[in-house]
Amino acid sequence: MSLKEILQKIVDSGDAITLSDSEKDWKASDLLSRLSERMLKTRAHHQQGMYIAEINEGGYLGRVMFKVKR
């Protein structure tokens, strides 16, 4: 699943979720409009209530891109 698909699911669900990177807190809709197309195409995994992590080329979880806040 791509980061774009994960963010779109969060937006569509209507949940009041805040995503936090190392610098700032974001709404999923803001990330959809601000991130580059290349970044949005990144394969990722959403562990609900915890984080969104990148999936590396080997198919394993890589770095945590965003922590989930409620």
- Domain ranges in the chain are 3-69
Q: What is the pLDDT of residue 16?
A: 85
Q: What is the pLDDT of residue 10?
A: 95
Q: DSSP per residue over 9-49, as a string?
A: HHHHHT---EEE-SS-EEEHHHHHHHS-HHHHTSBEEEETT
The number of angstroms, rounded, from the C-alpha of 51 to the middle of its chain's C-alpha atoms is 8
Residue whose C-alpha is closest to residue 43's, from 68, 62, 24, 30: 62
pTM, two decimals, is 0.92
The predicted-structure confidence for 20-66, as pLDDT tens digits, reads as follows 999 999 999 999 999 999 999 999 999 999 999 999 999 999 999 99
